[in-house]
Each structure stands twice: as structure tokens, then as C-alpha cells.
Chains A and B, each alone.
Chain A
Amino acid sequence: MQTFTLAAMLLLLSSLAFRLGRGRALAVVGGEPRGLHSLPGYYGWWVALWCGLPAFAVLLSWLVLEPSVVRALVVSGLPAEMQALGPDRIDVLVNEVRNAALGHATTNPALAAAAEHYLRLSRIGFASVAVISVALALAGTALARARIEPALRARPRVERVVKVFLVASSTVAVFTTIGIVLSLLFEALRFFNMVSITDFLFGLSWSPQMSIRSDQTGSSGAFGMVPLFTGTMLISLISMVVALPLGLFSAVYMAEYAAPRFRAVAKPALEILAGIPTVVYGFFAVITVAPLIRGAGEALGLTVAAESALAAGFVLGITLIPLISSLSDDVITAVPQSLREGALGLGATRSETVRLVILPAALPGIVGGVLLAVSRAIGETMIVVMAAGLSAKLTFNPLEAVTTVTVQIVTLLVGDTEFDSPKTLAAFALGLMLFAITLGLNVVALHIVQKYREKYD
């Protein structure tokens, strides 16, 4: 809260600095703006930037560094026997200290003292940051104001700062990708130090439960991702069996047959299907579709698992219909009219035109769209978390329960997370695989779609 107050204060100071700079610029030339190099507002901006930028830089770096710095100081202030504990125990202690500092009583006197220490540190830290940033703001303002003269090139200077901001913003996407790769790679490498990479890639059993004591049975967890991979493939396959014909036929109908009025209603309806959050689909799968499939299976004398791959895959398929349909619609309408007219002129019926001329011409684009849909199916999480099972079974029977890569990532990381057991780190290794596979599919798909687009442009 106090950080917000400080930030608001700095903003206020900057706006004051703006007025100050603008007024100063006008005063320097005696109220005649024509004598200035830039418009008076730019002098205002220039002073405001000098006021705000250094101060906010200090504030921001403190916000980023504060937790680590204060934590390190608090830990070094703990009694020696507490410091000797393992890193995760220290994590717990630090949490307790933080809670104590927030007003929850603690019974341990050492921790209570540490909480005092913690509070004092953060108070001192914040006070010094507040003083430094306000001082910088004032100093910057004074300095900039003193330098205002008619020949000062204020506009190019302000524009340079803005341009730096624009360039920096455009690199955020790159840094996000780098961040993803680094964080996944770093934790996955720690995992591969504990479990060999060949066991992970080719192992046939997955049971990440590590026992707490070494003498318990089944103490060594098994981390073979093959059953997860086959489970993911099975559910994706089922979803594509549902989504591909429905999506493709809808696209053909919308593009080639539907009257404009029908299109105007049906297209938004399909878009709504795409806009519904997947957690809603997950609930729908659990509460409506799974019992239906189970009932139908039992009526036929089949045993259907409560969390069958069929239910999850079916609902997942529904969510993919709009994606396939809209992407295919785009490529079908992009096929040149002359091809259509040529086929019709030779006496082909409309369906023959579609099947023999338009679809072959649009095929690369459709394949690209389907690949994007597959990548979405592999990465989709909520539906499978809610509707698919947890046990990793190596099966291709759609009526049994299987688990997927995303389900395991969520199960391994929800709840208490200790960052030195292979159980949690395995999630990052799975995430790395998921990222690599979906990225590969996307690159190929985008490449195909772009190639195709160029052909007719």
C-alpha cells in the first residue's frame, strides 16, 4: 500500500515538473514560443522525465530486489542452528517469520525476534528508498529546469526516450520466450541430474510418488513419460476425430453453400463456442458427458471407466471445432474464384468442385490449421485435468482412463512444492517436452500456412 502511495507521489511530482518545465521554457523566451527550438510542452516533458525516470528506476529495482535482500539479511540474523538446516526448511522458517511479522503470533522466541528484525529491515529499506527516490526526483527537476534555454533540443531528446521505450516493449516477447526456455531448461536439467534422461524419455511406467522414508515399499518413483505421451496422443486423436469432420464440413458449408443471413448467425455462434473458458468445458465433461458415455457403454455391455479418455477427448474435440472451421474457412475463401468458375463451367456440381478442385487447392492451408489444432489439443489443460484420469496406463482403449502430460504437470505442482524433489522438477521436464512439441508443430504449421498464402497472393 505504501508503495502505491510513493508511486502516486512520484507521479504527482512528475506532473508538477511538467508544468514547471513548460513555464520555465516560456519564461526564458519571454512568453514568445517562436523563440524556442521545440514546442513548450516538450520542455515540460523533458523535465518530467528527468524527475520521474531515475526515481521510478530506484523504486522498481527496490521492489525487485527487496524480497531477496531482506530475506538474506533475516536468514543471516537467525540463530546458527537454524541456519544449518536445509534450504527448504529455511524456506518454511522464513515464511513463518513473515507470518509473524504480519501479526500472527509465533511461539518460537527466535522467530519472534527474527520477525522484529524483518519488520525493522523492511521499514528501514522502504524509508531509505522513499527518501532516495524523492531526492532524485527533486534533484532531477532542478537540474533539468536549470538547463532550459531556447536552443535546447527538447523534442528530439524526449522522442529518443519514447523510442527506447517502444523498442524495449517490442523485446518483451523475446524475453518472455527466453524466460520460458531458461526456466524450463534450468529446472529440467536439475531433474535430469536425478533421473537419467533415457529413463525419462523411454521408460514405460510413470509413478512419481516418492516415499518419505527410504525403507518404504516402492520408494523409487518411476519417471517414464511414454504412458503420458500415449495418453496425450490418444485423447488428442479422439478430439481430432470429433473436430476434424465437423470443423471441415462446417467450413465448407459456410464458405460455399450458406446464405449470408445464415452465415451471419452461425459464425458468431461458433465463435462463442471458442470463447467459452475451458474450465467450463471441463465441468461439462465431468457432469454431463462422462455419465452419458458411461451409461451408453453399460447399456452395450462395455465397462467404461469413470474418467474415460473418450469423454475428455470428445469434449476437447468440441472446443477445437471453431478453430478448425475458421482457419479452413479462411483458406477456402482464399482459393481464387477463377478455379471455382472453371470447374463449374465444365459442368461439375458444387460438391464436385469442392471435393476435386477447392479442397486439393486449399489442402496445405487446411493441414496447417489441423496442425495448429493438434498443438492446441496437446497443450490443453483444464478439460483433461478435470475429465481425464490420474493413473498412467499404457493403453489405447478409449474407454479406459488415461492421463496426459498437462494433467501430470498440474498434479505435480498443485499443493506444496518443494524444489529439490524429482517429483516437482519432473513437471518442468514435462513442460519442456510440451513446449518443444507444441513449438515444433506451430513452426511447421505457420510455415505451411504462410507458404500457401504466398501462392495465391
Chain B
Amino acid sequence: MTDMAETTAVTRTAETVAARLGRRYAAEARFRAFGFAAVAISIGFLAILLGSIVAKGWSAFVQTQVLVEIAFDPQVIDPDGTRDPATLDTADYAALIRAALAARLAPDADRSTRRDLSGLISSGAANQVRAMVNADPSLIGTSRKVWLMASDKLDMVTKGQYDTALNERQLGWLTALRADGELRRTFNTTFLTAGDSREPEQAGIWGAMVGSFFSLLITLLVSFPLGVAAAVYLEEFAPTNRWTNLIEVNINNLAAVPSVVFGLLGLAMFLNVFHLPRSAPLVGGLVLALICLPTIIIAGRAALKSVPPSIRQAAAGLGASRLQIVAHHVLPLAMPGMLTGTILGMARALGETAPLLMIGMVAFIVDIPKSPLDPSAVLPVQVYLWAGSSERAFVEKTSGAIIVLLVFLVAMNLIAILMRKRFERRW
């Protein structure tokens, strides 16, 4: 009798378990699917982000040019025939271009037609013609076919980005030019070699790249020696006491302070107390160095920790002083790890924007900086400035600048990864 009851109880339990099992397996599958979906969505965001930037930005590296037959009219360039460089420099080359366009597209142009005509060519094209004449004054009096930089509107229309940038008449001319092969697209060297400009087609990122280079140079020169020294002290020499503990807590907390607060520090200290120049890579580099310092110290300590104690004991056994142990044995072994951490810190500093806004690195600067004391922009700030511009052609430039920035970041990270692979030691 009791046996019977037990058997039924067992059967019933088995039935309930079996009934529940299906649900539990379903829940298991759901949970797993959620997990996979989370990873997939996150990586999907990355793909969308990169995809949209590349889709918008690749065309920044391409530029439209128009073939124009320019008559180097002596009446316009040099009416007195002196060939004086000052006269050649100040001549109205835009008028030559206008006349050439009118001759080609609309021989009997009135005022508004002329305005439409000059809307096809960049205002920077006059400089191009001026440079030609300055280089070779014998051109005056002849005529020659020249590829001129198109205006940003024409550029956008040919790239299919913004079809209503030009009016009906201009679109008609565009078709005519295209039919005769007088329109071409080339690699945009201006974008990589020029400084900033109000005109999208003349704007480039070289100035920002040089500014970023100077800033990172200062950052490296300041933060690497300081970071390595601090890591060595904390890991190899520091006694465990209140003071060391305070330093450690401090470093950990500094690593998490919002970067904009470092910008406030830079503004109040470096600019207002020490009167260092505004907008200069020197100040930017110093602020970035303070931001990177905790990262470098933490990475450096990890690298020092991974050097086994046997190395230190062996050196000590041969009579090396503590500093000799560190300088001759531990530090060289830890250096690859420290350098990897430093490169990663530099990569972070390269993308940092907010603190640089605080110290005035947002000015509109056309000139390429020549030293860390000249005012300049840096790459991410250039991105920010162009992103805020109302000109539609800057969308493409912004994305282009982002692509360049990301290429640098990827390169730096790759170097770090390769170094880690190449020099990693297992003890």
C-alpha cells in the first residue's frame, strides 16, 4: 500500500518535472537568444555608425574640377605692361575666370547670369590662376585650358548629395560641361593639405593634424616620463603607508574625473594664473597629459607587477642597488607593457575634445601652426567646428575628418596590439 502511494507520488513528480521541463528549456533558449541579440545589437550599432560615417565621408576625398579656357588678358592683369610682381599679385583674376566662363557658356550674359556663372567656380580658383601667372608671367597675352576647383554647390550636385543647390540655368550649364568632358573628379589634395576655411571646397584638415601632432608631442613628453617614474616609485620603492595609499586612491579617482573638469583646471591654472597662450597646442598638450597620466601610471604598474620577483632577487644577489635593479633589469622588461599603455593613452588623448574647448582651441584658424605656441585646432575640435557649421557641404568634410581621425586611432591601437603580441612574455 505504501509502495503504491510512493510510486504514484514519484510518477506525479516526474510528470510535473517533465511538464515544466519544456518551459524551462524554452526559457533557456529565450535567455540565450537575448544574450546573443544584445551582442549583435551592440555590434550592429558599431556597424551603422562606421557605415554612415564612411557613406557620408568618402566623397570628401574627391573633388570636382571644371576645365576652363582662360585668356590671360594683359588689359586685366597688367595694363601698364610693367610685369611688376606687386601688380601681378593684386590683379583681378576672378574677372578673368568670369569672362572665360561667360565666353564658354553664356556669351551675352547679363548681371544675374554672371552671378550664376561665378557660382560654379570656387572663389579659391582665382588664387590658382594667380599662382600660375606669378610662376610664369609669359602666360600673359596667351590663353590656356586650366582645370579649376569647382564651387561647393557644383561639387555637391555632381556627387548627388544636394540636387537643388544649383538653379535651373546652372544645371543646364552643368549638363553642357559634362557632355563635352569639361568636368572631372580627382583626388582631393586640398582636403589633406589646406588649413581651415569658410568655403567648404577650400577647407582642409592639415592645420588640425599638425595641431594634434604638436599637442600629442607635448602630452607624450610630459606624461610618459612622469607616468613611468610614478609607476616605478609606487610599485618598487613606496612603503605601504597612509601617504602612498592616498596617492593610489587619488590616481584611481583622477582616472574617472570627467575630462571637462580638467579643461576647467587648464583654464584657471594654465591660462589665468600662468598666462600661457590661449588656443595653443602647448596648453592643450599639458591638459591632455594630466588626463592621460592616471592611465599611464595604472598600465605601468601592471607591467611592473608582471615582472617576476626572481629577476629582482637575482640582480640583488649580484650586488646591484635597488635603483640599478629597476633601471637595468625590471624597467627594460616592463617597457613594452608601459609603451602599450602609453600608446592607448595617447589614442584616447587624440580623440579628447571637451577640455580643449575650455582652453580656447575652438577658434577659427586658417594658418598651419608652426610651433606648439601658435594657435591651432586639433582633429576632434575641427570635427566639432565643422559639425556646427550651417553650410551643407561641411557634412561631407566633417565625415571625412572623422575618417582621418579614426584611421589614426586604428593605427595607434594596431601598433599597441602588435607590440603586446610581439613583446609579451610569459614567465
Q: Enumerate chain A interface residues (CB-CB to B < 8 A).
A: 1, 64, 67-68, 71, 155, 159, 162-163, 165-174, 176-177, 179-180, 183-184, 186-187, 245-250, 252-254, 256-258, 266, 269-270, 272-273, 275-284, 286-288, 318, 321-322, 325, 349-352, 354-355, 372, 375-376, 378-382, 385-386, 406, 409-410, 413-414, 417, 419, 427-428, 431, 434-435, 438-439, 442-443, 446
Contact = CB atoms under 8 A, between A and B. Distances in A.
A257 B36 CA distance: 9
B372 to A, nearest CB: 10
Interface size class of B (residues with CB under 8 A): 35 or more
A431 B399 CA distance: 31
B261 A434 contact: yes
A53 to B, nearest CB: 15
B49 A177 contact: no
A354 B31 contact: yes
A435 B257 CA distance: 7
Contact of A419 (B251, B272, B387): B272
A176 B254 contact: yes
Given A173-B294, A410-B358, A321 B253 contact: no
Contacts of B290: 176
Interface in B405-426: 405-406, 409, 413
B399 to A, nearest CB: 8
A68 B35 CA distance: 60
Contacts of B119: none
15 contacts: A64-B274, A166-B233, A169-B230, A176-B290, A177-B253, A277-B380, A277-B405, A282-B387, A288-B48, A288-B52, A352-B24, A414-B357, A431-B260, A434-B261, A438-B256
Contact of B256 (A180, A258, A409, A442): A442
A186 B273 CA distance: 12
A91 to B, nearest CB: 10
Nearest to B264: A431
B268 A249 contact: no
B162 interface: no
B31 A351 contact: yes
B402 interface: yes
Interface string B227-265: 101101110011000000011001111101111111011
Contact of A349 (B24, B232, B413): B24
B35 A176 contact: no
A13 B156 CA distance: 59
A438 B258 CA distance: 8
A443 B252 CA distance: 9
Interface of B: 24-25, 27-28, 30-32, 34-39, 41-43, 45-46, 48-49, 52-53, 56, 225-227, 229-230, 232-234, 237-238, 246-247, 250-254, 256-262, 264-265, 267-269, 272, 274-276, 290, 293-294, 297, 321, 323, 347-348, 350-354, 357-358, 362, 371, 380-381, 383-384, 387-388, 395, 398-399, 402, 405-406, 409, 413
A372 B257 CA distance: 11
A382 B24 CA distance: 45
A179 B258 CA distance: 15
Contacts of A417: 267
Contacts of B24: 349, 352
A386 B264 CA distance: 19
A253 B36 contact: yes
B229 A169 contact: yes
